[in-house]
Structures are given as C-alpha cells and as structure tokens.
Amino acid sequence: MPELPEVETVVRGLDRELRGKRLKDFVFLSQHLVSKQPATALSLENYYGKKIKKIWRRGKVIVFEFSGQLGLIVHLKMTGQLYFVCPDQLLDKHSHARMAFYGFKKELRFRDIRKFGYLNCLKVEEIQKKIQTELGPEPLEMNFQDFFSQLQRFGKKRIKGWLLDQKIIAGIGNIYSDEILFEAKISPERKTISLSPKEARNLYRAMKSVLKKAIELKGSSVSDYVDSLGQPGKFQKRHRVYGREGKPCFRCQGTTVQRKKICGRSAFFCPSCQS
Ligand SMILES: [Zn+2]
C-alpha cells in the first residue's frame, strides 16, 4: 500500500502540473467508485469548469481542492495509481476514472487492480472535518513532546501497531514502520510504555529520517506503486529489513532478518539489533 512518501510524491507531481487548471471532463468508468460515494457526495457535473486551487496530502489521503469549495478526496489503498497519460492511450479494465483539463494535453487516470481505493466528491469543509476526526498528526510536523505523550497515552499498544494506527500518527504503514523500528533498534513487539525517553527520542529521529529519505527517493515500489508520471520509486533499494526475511541483517551481519505476525501484520526485524 502506498504510504506517506509515495503519496507525497504523487501529490507533488499532481500539484505541479494541475494547479490553476480548469476541469474539462471527469468520468467514473466503474460502478464500484459510484457505490463508494458517501450520502453527502456531490455529482461529478458540479466539478466541470472548476479550477484546481491546490492538491495536498494528509496521511495517506490525497485532496484536490477546486474553486467553489469543491473537494475530492482520494485514497489509493492497496493498488491505486493516479497518473498522467495521453488521452488516446488504451483504457484497460483496471482504469476506473479519468479527468481532462483545459489547456493540458494529458489526462489523469485512476487505475486500481484490487479496487479498494476510492474517490469521494465532497465539499472541502467536509473533507477537512473527516480528516480532523479520522487522522492523527503528520509525522514530519509532529514535535517530540507530542510524540512522547502519545507513546505514554497508548502505553499498552505494541510499538508496531502504534506506528500503524492512523489516528495516532497519519501516513505510516507496514514498510516504513519496519524500517523506522530497525533504524531505531527497537523491537516491533515492545509495548510503547516500556520505551525509555532515550529510546523514544531515537524512534522519533528514525521516523523523521526514514520518511524524509524515502520522499527524497520518491517512495518505494514493491507492488503497483508509481508516481504521477507512471515512474516507480527508488527507496525499495534501500530497504534494510522489509521483505528481507531469511537474509543476513545489514547491520550485524550474523543474524538473519525474521518475519513475524504482530498486531495482525507482518513485521520484518532483526532479533539481534532490535530489542
Ligand atoms: Zn542485526
């Protein structure tokens, strides 16, 4: 699933190309996107001719802000892709929505093999409310005080699950939680309350450095992820534990990376380096 660095990369590409453009056409090609619209959703015709003010991200969600207070919230979920193509490029059965803009030769397509993703047409205000109630703070904007108090507050949670909980911190998923915990030398099974202030500080620093590096390298492509130009990321080449079960640990060499189900998810970690 695309996580913060991947979504950030997509958003930067979309905003760079589309800010200020007016929407010419917007079509859902698959019924499942229509049935995922909430009761308060606006119809697509409302968006025709509206100008894109900006495109931004919160956690793993993408928000298109149009003129007239119209918004579009997109979640890529497992296999969603948002990218530009030439309009004459053949539509395959996994392409579920398309958008065209005045004065812009390419069109934007939403492609999603597993169909867990969604595009919801809502007022910007409603999107903001939804984000406020459903998502915790941004990891790259959070200060250490807040980070530490959240660790205390959810003390019984295992640290792997704590990092994955979008209501506590928004944007981290399975790949980056493993990479962050490896960087911080903390076992994914630890209860958050057991972390010393020094360990918490290491975790906080690791969270920022891993995410920043991943954004710099335009995210990780482990399955379907591509950016707005259809290009894969490069951070998968830097993964130190994720997907490396049975391979020697890059840090201690002597131990092999293990995979274990923790908080319902696969966690990859080095049992020697991480305690
Ligand atoms: Zn190790």
Task: Look up the pTM and report it.
Answer: 0.96
* Cα of 253 from ligand 1 centre, angstroms: 6
226 and 118 both lie in a single domain: no
CA of residue 163 to ligand 1 center, whole Å: 21
139 CA from centroid of ligand 1 (Å)? 26
What φ, ψ does residue 155 adopt, rounded to 5°?
-55, -25
Please report whether residue 139 resides in a domain.
Answer: no
Tell me what pLDDT residue 124 has: 98
In the residue annotation, 2 being an active-site residue is answered as: yes
Same domain, residue pair 126 and 29 = yes
Answer yes or no: do 123 and 234 share one domain: no
Hey, which bits of the chain come out as E strands?
Answer: 23-28, 52-58, 61-66, 70-75, 80-85, 95-101, 107-112, 118-123, 258-262, 265-269
Q: In whole angstroms, give the CA distance from residue 151 to residue 130.
A: 24
132 phi and psi angles, rounded to 5 deg: -60, -35
Selecting among 57, 60, 190, 218, the annotated active-site residue is 60
Contacts of 114 (CB under 8 A, 6+ apart): 77, 78, 79
Which of 105, 134, 163 is where one domain is finished? 134
In a domain, 275, yes or no: no
DSSP 141-191: T--HHHHHHHHHHTTTSBHHHHHH-TTTSSS--HHHHHHHHHHHT--TTSB
Domains in the chain: how many in total? 2
How confident is the model over 170-195, as pLDDT tens digits? 999 999 999 999 999 999 999 999 99
C-alpha 188 to ligand 1 mean position (Å):
14
Catalytic residue from among 2, 5, 139, 188: 2
Kindly tell me if the per-residue pLDDT of 224 is higher than 90: no
85 pLDDT higher than 90 = yes
Find the domain containing 217 and state its range: 144-269
pLDDT above 70 coverage of the chain, percent: 100
Distance 252 CA to ligand 1 centre (A): 4
Catalytic residue at 60? yes
**In a 10 Å sphere around its CB, with 0-12 CB exposed, 13-18 middle and 19+ buried, how is residue 169 labelled?**
buried
Could you give the CA distance from residue 205 to residue 93 in angstroms, rounded to a whole number? 43
d(CA 164, CA 75) in angstroms, rounded, equals 16
CATH number of the CATH domain containing 242:
1.10.8.50
Q: Could you tell me if 269 and 257 are in contact, meaning their C-beta atoms sit under 8 angstroms apart?
A: yes
240/269 Cα distance (integer angstroms): 9
| Catalytic residue of the set 185, 232, 265, 271 | 265
Residue 223: band (very low, low, confident or very high) from pLDDT cuts 50, 70, 90: confident
Q: C-alpha distances in angstroms, 173 versus 107, 232, 266, 269?
A: 29, 18, 11, 15
Q: Which DSSP helix (H) or strand (E) runs through 11?
A: helix 4-18
